[in-house]
């Protein structure tokens, strides 16, 4: 099982989710650690190669962006509350910046 590594403030951001959404995110990340796909996800290639978005539909819309293609760990890039249909440019840019940071860790 791969370990989880949180980049930037992603762990604090995830901890700010409501308890039920946080629990759902934890279950989904547990699947990813074991090499199983999350129940609801989509590819986020606009962030970087291999980046995926876990979609959580509990008490609103919540997202966790991660990359699991590296052997060392599953890297959580960003966790946020999604308030519009389209992912905000700022969220994509922040995840891109953090994706570039993991080059040193992978």
CATH no., domain 3-104: 3.30.2310.20
pLDDT digits (tens, 9 = 90+) for 42-100: 999 999 999 999 999 999 999 999 999 998 899 999 999 999 999 999 999 999 999 99
Domain boundaries, the chain: 3-104
Start-end of H helices in 16-65: 19-33
Contact 40, 57 (CB under 8 A): yes
Radius of gyration over alpha carbons of the chain, in Å? 12
Residues 6+ apart with CB under 8 A from 3: 33, 72, 73, 74
Give the residue from 68, 77, 75 showing the smallest Cα distance to 95: 77
- pLDDT score of 103: 75
């Amino acid at each position: 099982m791969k370990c989880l590594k949180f980049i930037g403030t992603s762990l604090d951001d995830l901890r700010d989710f409501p308890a039920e959404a946080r629990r759902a995110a934890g279950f989904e990340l547990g699947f990813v650690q074991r090499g199983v796909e999350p129940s609801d996800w989509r590819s986020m290639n606009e962030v970087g190669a291999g980046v995926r978005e876990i979609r959580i539909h509990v008490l609103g819309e919540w997202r966790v962006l991660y990359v699991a293609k590296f052997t060392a760990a599953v890297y959580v890039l960003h966790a946020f509350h999604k308030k519009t249909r389209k992912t905000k440019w700022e969220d994509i840019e922040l995840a891109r910046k953090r994706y570039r940071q993991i080059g040193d860790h992978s």
